[in-house]
Chains A and B, each alone.
Chain A
Amino acid sequence: MSETITIEVNGKTLSAQAGEMLIAVTDANEIDIPRFCYHKKLSIAANCRMCLVEVEKAPKALPACATPVMDGMKVWTRSPSALAAQQATMEFLLINHPLDCPICDQGGECELQDVSVAYGSDKSQYVEAKRIVFDKNIGPLISTDLTRCIQCTRCVRFGAEIAGMRELGMIGRGDRESIATFAGQCVTSELSGNVVDVCPVGALTMKPSRYKARAWEVIQHAAIAAHDSVGSNVYHHTFTQQVMRTVPSENDAVNECWISDRDRFSYEGLYSDERLTQPMLKKRGEWHVVTWDEALETTAKILNEANKDQTGVLASANATLEELYLLQKSMRAIGIDHIDHRVRQTDFSGQNAAPLAPSLGVSLEDLEKQDAVLLIGSNIRYEQPMANHRLRKASLQNAKIMTLNPYHIEFNYDTTEQSVSSVAEMLSNLAAIAKAAGVELTHFSNIEVDEQTQNIATYLKEADQALLLLGNLATQHPAYADLCALAQLIAEKTGATLGYLPEAANTAGAWLAGVVPHRQAAAQAVQTMGKSAQEILTDSTKTFVLLGLEAEFDTDNPQKSIQALAQADNVIAINSYVNPRLKEYATVLLPASQTVETSGTFVNMEGRLQSFKGVSKLLGDARPTWKILRVLGNLLDVDGFDYMSSEDVRNELKVKLEQTNAYQAEASPEAKPMDIASSPVSEHSFHRIGTVQMYSGDSLLRRAIALQQAAGDERRRVTLHPDDIARLDLGDEQTVSVAQGDSSVRMSLVADSAIPIHSALLPSATQKSVELGSAFGMIQITKG
């Protein structure tokens, strides 16, 4: 611990930690010192000289950002010599600045503007020509106006220190310096948008919102990001009640001052042409726009008359806690037990051993204090980018980050071990780790412990703070229950914590709200065990209720799902979007809200309940989803549906949750080796790795234009190991034919040795995968 000292600033005595930079002390005490290059989360560059202050016994003004405090130090931030230094710096910085504030997106919220008004002079001695820097195209998300750049290098340091990939750099020298990427490449970091926030001027701005509204015209609303389970705190900026842009809201416990590009740019999907804006009914095969009354009465009638055992309810885990709670409450009240949100999951055999809700097991802040972390079936970097940021910090502190995945992942930090094997072998590798950790296994008797599995076990054991995390891919793994059981045994044996990385914004909420077939809200016992998502999506279901789902994209097996929905008598879709396929299988369309248009609550990976208000106008006749469900509850004559607000709903659930505090799940069933064929049946068979690409995970994302551009072609490809390509003599093929189940598609072929032999990376939730079967099933790849 460093010692506490006192310094004096502007005659005021302040206490500080020895060695702290002066600007950190003055910031903490709300004394203003102007700055451009200093950023509390970045390293010190001290290159802008804006923070000059007078320090006793120093002959010249000193930069507050690079001056460590010492006991008894006396500082003046507004003395004549400090002011003169600041004014001179400001004049220098403006020499080459274009002063095009009237057409600059940053105008009105620009650090350069603010500081120059506060500390600059209204005159300049400079009359010569100003320099011009040509703008560069660095991708669909960020606009550049590099003549405005003041060379503070915050964006460069952000890349190196936070994003963990140095994409922007300062090229050239002197007055020819310029921000650039190598060879004009686009930036690809999943956190790239943050450079816009750190840039103190308008040199880097957000491309999708460029010229859409002025900073002083927008209204700022606090909200919670709706894609991953981090629950990043954000502000939506609205203009004429439409979201114009999204920026981070600082919360050190959750997302610090950053957000992922996914959370920043997804709002664009709100204004897609595919928004559903009117209630519609299909009558004799024709769609008709109807009134809400008619639509809801028809819905109630369908549900009342339906055979309850042949009715299934599926919900998106991006729905709010309130929506999910009301959905299961009304459906269970009329006798429907088949309710689930786990639409990508295929193995439900361990569901009774699942905790109250999947959770990280530690806080996000503690994630960065771990000494060893084993990621099981997780591409955390793209699935929960802000959680990965914490792991990156841990890794920089020498934590051992290890993975068990069906392909090699490029992280933005060093990993200690990456165990890469086919989807099937992941299980035996985890068993090997268990064995190496000293777990007694009844099955897996002849499992071999190799050096890598031994190392992983040893690191977990030796670490003070060790964590096992089951990620998205684990959840979707065909032997999820066995992975969970083994992970638990390893955790017990090594003293590690076992945690989960919930898939969606409100996966934890869906569990708590009881949108699972085997537990009611707050894990209260069910009277009748319901069917899982996979059992619901079969021909035995004649009536479907879908909340916020596009089954063709959002379920494990699109082929089977579409078939099941097509044969059903009724499909009631409560959705904010509609697409041609949905129109084919649905019979009732109820236009619902997107997250930003409604009040609600998300439960993040730590179990943190974060509530928010609706910030933007609903489109057309769409209604807040929780209100649709409330009216539906009333029409179905369910008791206790007279909520006045979404808070009433949340509070009802909260009371239930408080009574369930010490929930004890059943013990895990014993882990067994997988019985799926671990070697391919023919030379053309491949184990599909059907992960969901970063920008495909939900309806809103799939329609966010700039993000879709940023996602590129990766999703439309099938990736094989170069050896497999050689073996099948596909070397010269641009495209191949991929068959799964009863249909096939043509896809472009890419070689990558990150994929194991006999495996194929073929992402889910794409226009191609819609034609195919289970995300982790077998596929056939042939020429053509």
Chain B
Amino acid sequence: MTSILSQHEREEIDYWLARYPEDQRQSALLGALRAVMHHDKYISGEKVAAVAEYLDIPKIAVYEVASFYSMFELDKKSAARHSISVCTNVSCMLRGSDDVIAYIENKIGVKEGETTSDGKFYFKREEECLAACVGAPMMQVDHVYYENLDNEKIDKILDGLE
């Protein structure tokens, strides 16, 4: 059976599978979805099905997990090269996250929840505290946290990306 999973995705899943007992293949699910996310920048229905088949678990079980975590994107529109999430929870809000959002929206020319037309940025709508309140206001770009933001810093971070 040929799978649409890439070589890298399969290696990544195998790496996680090796860490759990034979009959607990579901345990590798988060690792698998992370690999797909890394590869495609979003998780398509086809990849959900492919992961399910690879792990031999029901498709809906994969879909449940993929739709549960906000770090997984299920919509192709959000598959930009970089994903920006600005925390808007209490500490960050008190420290000016609204301004951060307004600045970024203005800078990249799209609103929260949208992707720039060149496919460079997806501006994710973030709902919850990212647990870096000490450095509020903060944002996460791809896997990296940036704290104590001001406009200059934002310019530097975003301009520095390919």
Contacts and interface: CB of A to CB of B under 8 A. Distances in A.
Contact of B60 (A169, A172, A173): A169
Nearest to B48: A182
B68 A169 contact: no
B67 A182 contact: no
A36 B45 CA distance: 32
A613 interface: no
Contact of B61 (A169, A173, A180, A183): A169
Contacts of A638: none
A168 B49 CA distance: 15
Contacts of A253: none
A183 B45 contact: yes
B58 interface: yes
Closest 3 CB pairs of A and B: A169-B60, A166-B58, A182-B59
A236 to B, nearest CB: 33
A166 B64 CA distance: 11
- Pick the most buried of B45, B58, B62, B69: most chain A CB atoms within 10 A of its CB: B58
B23 to A, nearest CB: 11
Nearest to B52: A182
Nearest to B67: A171
Contacts of B68: 171-173
A160 B61 CA distance: 10
B61 A172 contact: no
B67 A166 contact: no
Given A165-B58, A182-B59, A170 B64 contact: yes
Interface in A125-170: 160, 165-170
Contact of A169 (B49, B63, B69, B70): B63
A490 B135 CA distance: 76
Nearest to B60: A169
A766 interface: no
A181 interface: yes
Contacts of A181: 60
A507 to B, nearest CB: 35
A172 B48 CA distance: 15
Contacts of B62: 182
Task: Name the prevailing secondary structure of the B interface residues.
Answer: helix
Contacts of B59: 182-183
Contacts of A180: 60, 63
Given A166-B60, A169-B61, A182-B45, 4 more contacts: A165-B58, A171-B64, A182-B58, A183-B45
A392 to B, nearest CB: 16
9 contacts: A166-B61, A167-B60, A168-B60, A169-B60, A169-B61, A172-B68, A173-B67, A180-B60, A182-B63
A160 B67 CA distance: 19
Nearest to B61: A166
B71 to A, nearest CB: 12
Interface in A152-207: 160, 165-173, 180-183
B55 to A, nearest CB: 13
Contacts of B49: 182-183
B78 to A, nearest CB: 16
Contacts of A169: 58, 60-61, 63-64
Interface in B18-75: 45, 48-49, 58-64, 67-70
A183 B58 CA distance: 12
A168 B64 CA distance: 10
A40 B86 CA distance: 46
Q: How large is the interface on A (under 10, 10 to 19, 20 to 34, 35 or more residues)?
A: 10 to 19
A165 B64 CA distance: 15
Interface of B: 45, 48-49, 58-64, 67-70
Contacts of B60: 166-169, 171, 180-182
Contacts of B48: 182-183
Contacts of A160: 58
A166 B58 CA distance: 6
A183 B68 CA distance: 15
- Pick the most buried of B45, B49, B60, B67: most chain A CB atoms within 10 A of its CB: B60
- Pick the most buried of A167, A168, A171, A180: most chain B CB atoms within 10 A of its CB: A171
B100 to A, nearest CB: 24
A632 B63 CA distance: 62
A166 B49 CA distance: 14
A182 B67 CA distance: 11
Contacts of A167: 58, 60
Nearest to A170: B64
B58 A172 contact: no
A192 B58 CA distance: 16
- Pick the most buried of A170, A180, A183: most chain B CB atoms within 10 A of its CB: A183
A401 to B, nearest CB: 18
A681 B49 CA distance: 42
Nearest to A166: B58
Nearest to A169: B60
A171 B66 CA distance: 8
Nearest to A178: B67
B67 A172 contact: yes
A180 B74 CA distance: 15
Contacts of A165: 58
A99 to B, nearest CB: 27
B56 to A, nearest CB: 11
A534 B53 CA distance: 46
B160 to A, nearest CB: 33
A625 B98 CA distance: 78
Contacts of B70: 173
Contacts of B69: 173
Nearest to B45: A183
A300 B69 CA distance: 75
Contacts of A166: 58, 60-61
Nearest to A171: B67
Nearest to A181: B60
A171 B63 contact: yes
B44 to A, nearest CB: 10
- Pick the most buried of A171, A182, A183: most chain B CB atoms within 10 A of its CB: A182
A166 B63 CA distance: 12
A186 to B, nearest CB: 13
Contacts of B64: 169-171
Contacts of B61: 166, 169
Contacts of B67: 171-173
Nearest to B69: A173
B126 to A, nearest CB: 14
Contacts of B63: 169, 171, 180, 182-183
Nearest to B59: A182
A51 B162 CA distance: 56
A279 B68 CA distance: 62
A174 to B, nearest CB: 9
B63 to A, nearest CB: 5
Contacts of A172: 67-68
Nearest to B63: A182
A161 to B, nearest CB: 13
A170 B45 CA distance: 16
Nearest to B127: A174
Nearest to A172: B67
A299 to B, nearest CB: 56
- Pick the most buried of A168, A169, A181: most chain B CB atoms within 10 A of its CB: A169
Contacts of B45: 182-183
A72 to B, nearest CB: 38
A177 to B, nearest CB: 9
A630 B64 CA distance: 60
A266 to B, nearest CB: 28
Contacts of A182: 45, 48-49, 58-60, 62-63
A172 B68 CA distance: 5
A204 to B, nearest CB: 15
Contacts of A168: 60
B36 to A, nearest CB: 16
A173 B64 CA distance: 9
B81 to A, nearest CB: 26
B29 to A, nearest CB: 13
A188 to B, nearest CB: 12
Nearest to A167: B60
